[in-house]
């Protein structure tokens, strides 16, 4: 694009001046020249390859283009030399799809650059007449060892070399997965008769004997005890070989937080007469210390700063320890833990904890100190179980109640998370239930029982539409509610329970009108999201819930509705919601900002 502009100038006592309108026109023309001229000036490049296929076949066209790739610009003589190579590639592309009765004509069109014109009549594809897939040997008795089930390997289907190669690989992959290392093809034949237009496939596979696990040898730098490393292994010497068990060993070693590098391999050539294959595991220790610092913000507690220090291994037994801290205007907390791996280390561990916390929300105050021990266990059904024993001293003030209470709290919790992705899942659910209690005869000031439950679900349909649902329940029984710590009472309201209300706004009040917390909690939410782009979503939602002293009255639940926007950052979703509480006394507009996983 060429931009011609006229500058109308005049001279006065102050010198030369340019009219404002003219200056604007100049800037617009310059912008158009800089940003758009390459697209206007550049001539459209003619295609280097011209394909004429009769009858038209998109599948054949795509395969030929894939075999040829991008054809560079060439002059006429260079293109003629290239045409001989191109003919061979086109024939391979045709035969890969079963076309053996083709007619090809290549012509080089002179020009700068030259063009390659391909006129092609693929003809009828060769079709399968007989397909014989057989498995013999001990693997035939193993139900998991299956025959190839590709629909393209049925009589009457066009011959597909890709499907034939995939069938061969299917046999070989399964033999490796289940330890049939002496397996072989007794017959591996592809017969093609182009004139008759037929093809026969014979794949007969003999599995041979199944190998077993031998000794497991760790190659490491010596920081961890050999006995600890052996506790990661879920199989024994002499067990039938399974590649999945090796993969499981590799995953669990990587998840242990001890290692920066893990390599699990077998030594087939070192198998003994009993067909036992030794396993070699190479591990390299990670750096022992890590430090994480972070800043965040939510409308519930405002800005906050957090810090986490962890020593991933501090001795040869694999013990670890760490410190977590959080600093915000209404809440300050620091906690420390010491962890001992059990057997197996990735699913069982013993953790000792201690913490100091201080909270001050409106007229609520809480200062607490706690110590405890937890046994973490991952069950075979993927549920996480935690058995705990905690001691907690809490000095608090809430409503009309002010006390200092010591509780010894044995507890149990179960949880499960299932999702297709970690940071931004499209399908999944989270379930969690927790129960804890205290008794005066077991070093506690009051009798208490608390049970809480949480369920979250996420479902995506038609790619752009997402539904989220959440349900929270809680119940508290105490023989002296006035001495029940504020941290164990229930409050609702805020971005994690009922949007449209201020943080902890929904709770029973004392005679003086001050919040005192409830014995029961219910909070539910339904949210619909529409994806504008892979990283931006619009949302609309309905929340309901309350904290009460009496059992749930569903007719009295506080409702909140609103809309929001979601940005999927590299560390997880950021949520901004505009919500309105529908209660006549407490309701109003609230702005909620939060971040974190949706499950």
Per-residue pLDDT of the chain (599 residues; tens, 9 = 90+): 334 333 333 333 333 344 444 444 544 544 444 444 444 444 556 788 888 988 888 999 999 999 998 888 899 889 999 999 999 999 999 999 999 999 999 999 988 888 999 999 999 999 999 999 999 999 999 999 999 988 889 999 999 999 999 999 999 999 999 999 999 999 999 999 999 999 999 999 999 999 999 999 999 877 899 999 999 999 999 999 999 999 999 999 999 989 999 999 998 889 898 999 999 999 999 999 999 998 888 888 888 899 999 999 999 999 999 999 999 999 999 999 999 999 889 899 999 999 999 999 887 899 999 999 999 999 989 999 999 999 999 999 998 889 999 999 999 999 999 999 888 899 999 999 999 999 999 999 999 999 999 999 999 999 899 999 999 999 999 999 999 999 999 999 999 999 999 988 999 988 888 889 999 999 999 999 999 999 999 999 999 999 999 887 777 899 999 999 999 988 889 999 999 999 988 878 999 998 888 88
Same structural domain, 502 and 587: yes
- Cα distances from 143 to residues 131, 138, 147, 305, 443, in angstroms, run 22, 11, 10, 55, 57
Q: What CATH number corresponds to the domain at position 423? A: 2.40.160.50
DSSP state, 13? T
117 with 132, same domain: the answer is no
Q: Which of 340, 366, 398 is the last residue of a domain?
A: 398
Domain range for 362 is 303-398
Rounded to 5 degrees, what are φ and ψ at 425? -70, 160
> Is 3 inside any structural domain?
no
- Burial grade of 375 (CB within 10 A; 0-12, 13-18, 19 or more): middle
Rounded-to-integer distance, Cα 354 and Cα 240, Å = 45
Give the Cα separation of 495 and 515 in Å (integer).
19
Q: Please name the residues in contact with 354: beta carbons below 8 A apart, sequence gap of 6 or more.
A: 335, 336, 337, 369, 370, 371, 372
Strands 302-311 and 289-298 come out as antiparallel
| In a shared domain, residues 448 and 584 | yes
One domain for residues 597 and 549 = yes
Instruction: For residues 472 and 325, state if they share a domain.
Output: no
597 beta partners = none
Task: Provide the terminal-to-terminal Cα distance of the chain, rounded to the nearest Å.
Answer: 53
Whether 293 is in a domain gets the answer no
The answer to whether residues 132 and 115 belong to one domain is no
Assess whether 167 and 92 both reside in one domain: no
Q: Would 292 be classed as within a structural domain?
A: no
Cβ burial, residue 273 (10 Å; 0-12/13-18/19+) = exposed
φ/ψ of 209, rounded to 5, equals -75, 155
Query: Residue 294 domain-assigned?
Result: no
Residues 350 and 390 placed together within one structural domain of the fold: yes
Indicate whether 594 and 488 sit together in one domain: yes
For residues 361 and 480, membership in a common domain is answered with no
Q: Tell me if 495 is assigned to some domain.
A: yes
Q: Are residues 462 and 557 in the same domain?
A: yes
User: What is the C-alpha to C-alpha distance for residues 320 and 257, in angstroms, rounded to an integer?
Assistant: 10
Q: Is residue 405 part of a domain?
A: no
145 contacts 133 by C-beta, under 8 angstroms: no
Order across the sheet with 212-219: list the strands: 212-219, 276-285, 259-266
Q: How many residues does the chain have?
A: 599
Number of domains in the chain: 6
The rounded distance, in Å, linking the Cα atoms of 496 and 541 is: 13
Which residues on adjacent β-strands are paired with residue 466?
460, 529
Residue 178 lies in a domain: yes
Domain boundary among 285, 320, 348: 285
Return d(Cα 482, Cα 293) in angstroms, integer.
39
- Radius of gyration, alpha carbons of the chain: 35
The owner of tokens 């080089």 is 108
Is there a contact between 591 and 577 (Cβ–Cβ < 8 Å)? yes
Q: Which residue has the tokens 């998840």?
A: 255
Strands 127-136 and 184-193: unpaired
443 phi/psi in degrees, rounded to 5: 55, 55
Treating both helix axes as pointing N-terminal to C-terminal, what angle do 58-68 and 76-96 enclose, rounded to 10 degrees?
A: 130
Count CB neighbours of 11 within 10 A.
8
Say if 297 falls within a structural domain: no
Give per-residue burial for 14-41: e unless 16+ CB within 10 Å, then b.
Answer: eeeeeeeeeeeeeeeeeeeeeeeeeeee
Q: Tell me which of 190, 206, 222 is where a domain ends.
A: 206
Residues 222 and 190 placed together within one structural domain of the fold? no
Could you give the CA distance from residue 240 to residue 110 in angstroms, rounded to a whole number? 66
CATH number of the domain at 138, please.
3.10.20.310
């Amino acid at each position: 694009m060429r931009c011609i502009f006229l500058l109308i100038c005049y001279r006065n006592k102050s010198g030369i001046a340019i009219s404002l309108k003219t200056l604007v026109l100049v800037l617009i023309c310059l912008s158009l020249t800089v940003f758009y001229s390459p697209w206007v000036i550049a001539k459209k490049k003619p295609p280097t390859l011209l394909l004429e296929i009769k009858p038209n076949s998109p599948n054949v066209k795509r395969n030929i283009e894939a075999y040829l790739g991008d054809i560079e610009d060439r002059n006429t003589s260079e293109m003629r030399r290239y045409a001989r190579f191109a003919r061979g590639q086109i024939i391979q592309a045709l035969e890969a799809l079963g076309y053996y009765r083709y007619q090809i004509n290549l012509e080089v069109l002179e020009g700068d650059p030259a063009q390659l014109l391909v006129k092609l009549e693929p003809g009828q594809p060769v079709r399968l007449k007989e397909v014989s897939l057989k498995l013999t040997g001990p693997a035939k008795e193993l139900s998991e060892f299956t025959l190839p089930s590709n629909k393209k390997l049925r009589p009457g289907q066009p011959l597909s070399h890709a499907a034939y190669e995939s069938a061969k690989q299917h046999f070989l992959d399964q033999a490796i997965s289940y330890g049939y290392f002496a397996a072989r093809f007794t017959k591996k034949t592809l017969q093609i008769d182009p004139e008759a237009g037929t093809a026969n496939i014979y794949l007969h596979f003999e599995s041979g004997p199944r190998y077993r696990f031998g000794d497991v040898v760790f190659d490491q730098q010596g920081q961890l005890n050999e006995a600890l490393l052996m506790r990661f292994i879920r199989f024994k010497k002499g067990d039938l070989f399974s590649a999945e068990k090796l993969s499981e060993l590799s995953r669990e070693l990587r998840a242990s937080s001890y290692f920066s590098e893990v390599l699990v391999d077998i030594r087939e050539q070192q198998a003994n007469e009993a067909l036992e294959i030794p396993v070699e595991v190479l591990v390299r220790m990670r750096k022992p210390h890590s430090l994480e610092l972070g800043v965040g913000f939510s409308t519930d507690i405002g800005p906050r700063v957090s810090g986490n220090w962890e020593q991933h291994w501090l001795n040869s037994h694999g013990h670890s320890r760490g410190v977590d801290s959080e600093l915000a205007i209404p809440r300050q907390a620091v906690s420390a833990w010491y962890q001992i791996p059990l057997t197996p280390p990735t699913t069982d561990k013993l953790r000792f904890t201690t913490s100091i916390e201080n909270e001050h929300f409106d007229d609520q105050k809480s200062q607490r100190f706690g110590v405890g021990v937890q046994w973490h266990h991952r069950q075979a059904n993927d549920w996480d179980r935690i058995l705990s024993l905690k001691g907690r001293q809490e000095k608090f003030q809430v409503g009309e109640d002010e006390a200092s209470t010591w509780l010894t709290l044995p507890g149990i919790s179960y949880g499960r998370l299932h999702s297709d992705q970690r940071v931004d899942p499209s399908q999944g659910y989270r379930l969690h239930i927790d129960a804890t209690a205290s008794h005066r005869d077991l070093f506690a000031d009051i009798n208490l029982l608390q049970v809480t439950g949480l369920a979250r679900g996420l479902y995506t349909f038609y790619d752009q539409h997402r539904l989220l649902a959440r349900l929270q329940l809680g119940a508290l029984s105490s023989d002296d509610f006035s001495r029940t710590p504020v941290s164990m009472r229930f409050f609702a309201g805020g971005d994690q329970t009922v949007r449209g209300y201020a943080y902890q706004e929904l709770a029973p009040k004392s005679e003086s009108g001050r919040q005192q917390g409830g014995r029961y909690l219910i909070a539910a939410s339904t949210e619909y999201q529409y994806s504008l782009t892979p990283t931006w979503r619009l949302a609309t939602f309905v929340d309901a819930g309350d904290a009460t002293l009496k059992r749930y009255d569903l007719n009295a639940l506080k409702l909140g509705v609103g809309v929001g926007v979601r940005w999927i950052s590299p560390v997880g979703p950021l949520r901004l919601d505009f919500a309105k509480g529908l209660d006549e006394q407490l309701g109003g507009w609230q702005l909620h900002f939060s971040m974190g996983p949706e499950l």
